[in-house]
Every structure is written in C-alpha cells, then in structure tokens.
Amino acid sequence: MRAARTRNPTHRTHSARQCAGCLARQLAAQITVPSRPLSNDIPPTPAPGRSHAGAPGAVAGVSTDGINARERMDFWHHAHLGRMALSRPDGEPRPFEGRVRRIMGEHAHVVEHEAGALTAVRTAAQCRRDGVDYVSVNYMLDSTGSHMDHRGQVRLAPGTMYFVDSAQPVEFRQSSAHSVSIFLPRSKVQDAVGDPRLIPVVLQAHTGIGAVLQSHMRMIITQAEHMTPGQRVVVISACVDMALAALQTARDGAADAGRFADGFYQAARTLIERDCPDPQLDPGAVAAALGCSRATLYRLFAREGQSVAALIWHARLQRARALIASGRWTHRPLADIAFMAGFTDQAGFNRMFKRHYGMTPGEARARDAATRVSGDLGMG
C-alpha cells in the first residue's frame, strides 16, 4: 500500500458546523439507547397548525413516571399527542407507560418516543380542522406489534424507516414502540422535493443516504445532552438536509447533492467515521454509498478546505489510536490493530502514525501502559 500524504483534514478552525462529524465518531454499529429521567413539565403549547414549540437548541421531555395510572392516557394526550385520538387496546392489563424527548432546531426538531400499548388515530376531519404544516421521517428502533395505516397498511418492525404526512389521516397500533423522528415543515419538503403526497411511505434505511440519516438521528438522541444548544441546532440542520435528500431519493431514485450540500457533507463524514475500518473504503466507495458522483463529493469537501482521501486516513489513524489507548487490545500485535483500523500494510501504518502523532504505535502503547500503571498506583 502506498503511504498517502496525511495532512490533517481538520486543520481549519473547528467550527460548530463541523461538530456533527466529530460527534458521529461515538456511534457504534448498534446503539442501545438508555432510559433517562425526564421532567414532567408540559412543554409550551405550539401555535395552531404547527409542530411542537421550543427555543432552538433546547431539550425538553416528559414521561408518565409519577402519574396516576388512570390519568396517564389523558396526560399523554395533553403532553404529546394532542392532535390524535388515543385509546388502549381491549384487555390490556399493563398500565400505560410513555416517555418522549424533543431536541429543537431552528425550523425542525428531533423526537425520541417510547411508549407501551396504544392506538392513536388522526382522522381526515382532524387534519382539516387543525391545518398542520409538518411532516416527519421516522426510524423504528424497537417495537412489538406495531402497525401503521397511512395510505395503506405498514408493519413497523425494528429497522423500518417511514414517512408521515400529518396533513393526511393516519392510525398507529402498537404493543410497544421506541422510535426517533425528525419533524420538518411541510412547506420546506414541498419546496425541496415536491408534493409530499407523492413520497413513498416506506423509505430505504439500510443503504445510501437513508442509512446515514438513521445513524445521524440516533447520534443526536444519544449525544444531545453532551452538546451545547448551538451544536444541537447545527446537527439538526444537517439532519434536515439528509432527510430531504432521503425523501428526494425515495421519490425520484436519486438526490441532488448540490442542493443538500450540508447534509451530504455531514453524511459523508458520518459514513467515513463508521466505515473507515473497511480497507476498501475510498472516495469512490463513499460517493457510491451516498448516491452521488465522485466529482460532487470532491466539491463538497473542497468547500470545507478538505480532502476526502485525507479524512479517510485521518479517521483510520484516530481509530487505531483509540484502540491502542483503550488498553483492551494489549495482547494483540500492532499489526492486528492496524488491520482493525483499516490499514493493510503495517509499514505504511507505522509511517503515517508517527507522522501524525509524533511517535510510533509501539511508543504510544508503551506510554499508555505507563500512564495506566501510574494511575493505578495513584489510586492505591
């Protein structure tokens, strides 16, 4: 393998907009979303026809914890699903439980929703009455017995990505469900993609821009509490572009990367951080995965003063450094560490590592081991 020149692709000032790519490094292949204590302060009532209210960058949540079991459905209707008629399945023995968390952006917001057995119906009459102006792209993290009737019957199995137009009737039935959604103004979708009624209900979640979108939404809900309000606004803005690109792809078979430049740029960064251990990952593979041309991808990165190839090598070096520092792989040869980080040539790995970190991988391992020993002695 020819050693690539490793100018640090993040040499520019680390702007707020670039934080989305950095936070994405914390994604695992499968993310388990922990339960969190939530306030039961009911959020502000939104204006008629609009989605949830809140200051950009704010995080707000409610749960049924501490609510009398007989009052929980009324509470849930008032606090979260006020534009739908709610009911419990006949013979359901378990008390209803639910929790929801909203992370606000400028003109969109991400919602994590977890609830037990429930039927929620939004009728055509309700749609005409409240004049909603939003749609949502949703990803089912986990579910049991979940179905949706929205322009047809859809089984909402774990891993399903689906589109909901709140200007049209919809019915949800579930035994339990845990999902993450991004809510967008209907007018924004119409301007970017066209008539929302022509967008398929089921979206591609496992390849291309859809796969990166669902990873990005999961990153937002797992990392929101570690971000500043400004950073939350930034990552949700990138999420909006990714969602619009995913909707355009679903409708037309491809998306205009130039039109959704910020979303495609952040999507590329997320994909690189996730897939850098694959030695076959190169700019062509990134472009193919996102459904854009290699030339378009190069232009997106050139806007940021970056190189796609340099970022791939930088991500691999960071992965290798993290593996060495973790202490979990001290029994493995450094050649294995190199392979786990996406390098196929140990000599090239050693040169690039020393050029970037100022020490060889072996020296880094010895330094980290000495630091751990020193820490253990200090604790003793």
pLDDT digits (tens, 9 = 90+) for 136-153: 999 999 999 999 999 999
> Is 105:72 a contact under the CB 8 Å cutoff?
no
CA distance 233 to 370: 41
- For 41-49, which contacts have Cβ atoms below 8 Å and span 24 or more sequence positions? 42/78, 42/79, 43/79, 43/102, 48/130, 48/131, 49/130, 49/131, 49/132, 49/133
Tokens of 227: 């971000």
Query: At 339, phi and psi to the nearest 5?
Result: -65, -40
pLDDT digits (tens, 9 = 90+) for 197-208: 999 999 988 888
Maximum mean pLDDT: which of 17-21, 92-96, 372-376:
92-96
Residue 10, CA distances (Å) to 13, 285, 306 in order: 8, 21, 7
The per-residue pLDDT for 22 is 45
Ordered structural domains, the chain, with CATH:
19-256 (2.60.120.10)
CA distance 143 to 306: 41
pTM, rounded to two decimals: 0.71
The per-residue pLDDT for 317 is 96
DSSP state of 168: S
Q: CB-based contacts of 260: which residues, under 8 Å, 6+ apart?
A: 192, 241, 242, 244, 245, 248
The overall average pLDDT reported for the chain is 84
In this prediction, residue 39 has a pLDDT band, given cuts at 50, 70 and 90, of very low
Q: How many Cβ atoms sit within 10 Å of the Cβ of residue 153?
A: 10
Tokens of 112: 């994590």
Strand 98-104 with 170-174, pairing:
unpaired
